[in-house]
Structure 1
Amino acid sequence: MILQAALLLAGLSATASATCCPPVRFSAVQFVTIVNSTFAKDALYSFTYDGINQRYVISGDLSDGFLTTTKVIYDYSKKTGFSIDTEARTCSTFRLQGKFKDQESVCVPSDAVTLGPFFYGYDVGRLPSTGYTYNSTTVNGEFQKVVATVSRKDCVPIVITTTTIGPGGNALTVLGYNDVVPGIRDFTVFDIPSYCSM
């Protein structure tokens, strides 16, 4: 499930220019729902994005919930992904396809249509946001309709809904971003254990 969510993030097409992009480094808790004709799954992940060093890491597991020893590191500078279980001390590597596009999975492209403004919450604690819709394609050529709601001030993602239409069937993916923190507090999340072979 981690791999599916991360591949979705990596598979969105890049844009030549953007309406807005979130911080180049940020961390968040990401709630993921994926529904297609054969299954419906939910998961909760820790997500750390490092656009400067062309990498991100997703930690979490569908069966164990948020507290887990499983994480997947996507390091485009090494062109390698690492699927790690720190408790079992196992690691598998896989080759990353394509190039890292700076924040391609979280930027709003310049041709997006504005749907907002919106507000989350109420009174003095409400969060001003803006909705956008745009079309995209996956690396496999599947058509995607994306609706993204982001914070109005700094374009931090709040909810991104993607409908994918392809020969393998249609799918709906919803990514909800919570507890977003700019920057990266702990860079050791990107450390590759010694038992991972390149």
Structure 2
Amino acid sequence: MNLLSLFTIPLLCHVTWGCCTPKQWSGNMDYLVGSSAGLETGIEKVYYDAKNTKIASIFDIHKNGALYKGQVVMDYEKKVQYAVVDGRCNTTRLKAKFPEACIPAGSKQLSNTHMGTADDSLDVTVYEYPLKFADMMGNIYFTFTNKLCVPVGDTVTGSRGGVGFMASVGYTGIEPGIKDPRVFDKPRECSSFVEEIEMDLYEKFGFVNHKISSLFQSRKFH
């Protein structure tokens, strides 16, 4: 938000509350979003810490030929967000609760299946979740490992403002724990003064990933 494929499988029509990811992990999130309005691709290094209610991301995002480089640190304990794009920072207030990374209530379990071959495979579960957020509608398909509930990828199809889109996300290099907690420190470009506004970095710069494909925002879609 990739080389994620949707499985052609029958719909098992029962509603579930899906699993939650481990409390602390880091990994890579690669994504591609395409529509008639343009193309967006990105690579993000994600750090997730539910024990200390912090999330950080270091990213390169290509949007319609332009490159944006930066990072986001969300410290829900201090209720502060640091957002840096191309060397410039906004320090703003976080008012929402920590968005724990779980398969949201109301998801439908599509299938228990596996990736790879029988001798070298990964058992996964695929879920479907309806996308209804502001002017967006469609469906999200999440894939998680069965053993530890680690995100593998998700695919989103739908429309925004009447314009159709498709997004594909892949998670790789997931590692347990946070090896260097300094990733959650205030970036050097940022001021300690906190503006008492909420700023969605992705909305400000028109990045669609955060709104339609992010695991950490899925519970806000309804």
Same fold (TM over 0.5): yes
Alpha-carbon distance in structure 2 between the residues aligned to 1:112 and 1:91: 36
Task: Give secondary structure in 1 for the equivalent of 2:52.
Answer: coil
Aligned counterpart in structure 1 of residue 99 of structure 2, from 87, 98, 101: 101
Identity of counterpart residues, as a percentage?
Answer: 28
Instruction: Tell me the CA shift for residue 194 of structure 1.
Output: 4.7
Q: 1:137 to 1:100 in 2, by over 3 A?
A: farther
1:131-158 per-residue CA deviation (whole Å, 9 max, x = no partner) reads: 11121433x3633411011111121111
Q: Once superposed, what is the RMSD of the aligned Cα atoms?
A: 2.6
1:191 aligns with 2:185: yes
1:182 aligns with 2:202: no
List gaps (5 residues or longer) in structure 2.
Answer: 2-15, 63-67, 194-222
Alignment of 1:134-145 (within 5 A): 134-138=129-133, 140=134, 142-145=136-139
Instruction: Report what 1:40 is aligned to.
Output: 39
Contact 2:135 2:161 in 1 (8 A): no
Instruction: Tell me the CA shift for residue 118 of structure 1.
Output: 1.9
1:78 aligns with 2:78: yes
Structure 1 length as normaliser, TM-score? 0.74
Alpha-carbon distance in structure 1 between the residues aligned to 2:152 and 2:189: 36
Task: Give secondary structure in 2 for the equivalent of 1:126.
Answer: strand
1:81 aligned partner, one-letter code: Q
Q: 1:36 to 1:89 in 2, by over 3 A?
A: closer
Task: Give secondary structure in 2 for the equivalent of 1:155.
Answer: coil
Alignment of 1:117-132 (within 5 A): 117-132=112-127
Instruction: Tell me the CA shift for residue 102 of structure 1.
Output: 2.0
List gaps (5 residues or longer) in structure 1.
Answer: 6-16
Structure 2 length as normaliser, TM-score? 0.67
1:52-111 per-residue CA deviation (whole Å, 9 max, x = no partner) reads: 222211112135xxxx973111223333321236xx8643223445332322xxx22343
Instruction: Report what 1:27 is aligned to.
Output: 26
- Alignment length (residue pairs): 173
1:107-138 per-residue CA deviation (whole Å, 9 max, x = no partner) reads: 22343222222211224321011111121433
Alpha-carbon distance in structure 2 between the residues aligned to 1:98 and 1:183: 24
Q: 1:97 to 1:175 in 2, by over 3 A?
A: farther
Instruction: Report what 1:8 is aligned to.
Output: none
Contact 2:20 2:100 in 1 (8 A): no
Q: 1:191 to 1:39 in 2, by over 3 A?
A: same
Q: 1:189 to 1:69 in 2, by over 3 A?
A: farther
1:163 aligns with 2:147: no
Q: 1:89 to 1:38 in 2, by over 3 A?
A: closer
1:142 aligned partner, one-letter code: M
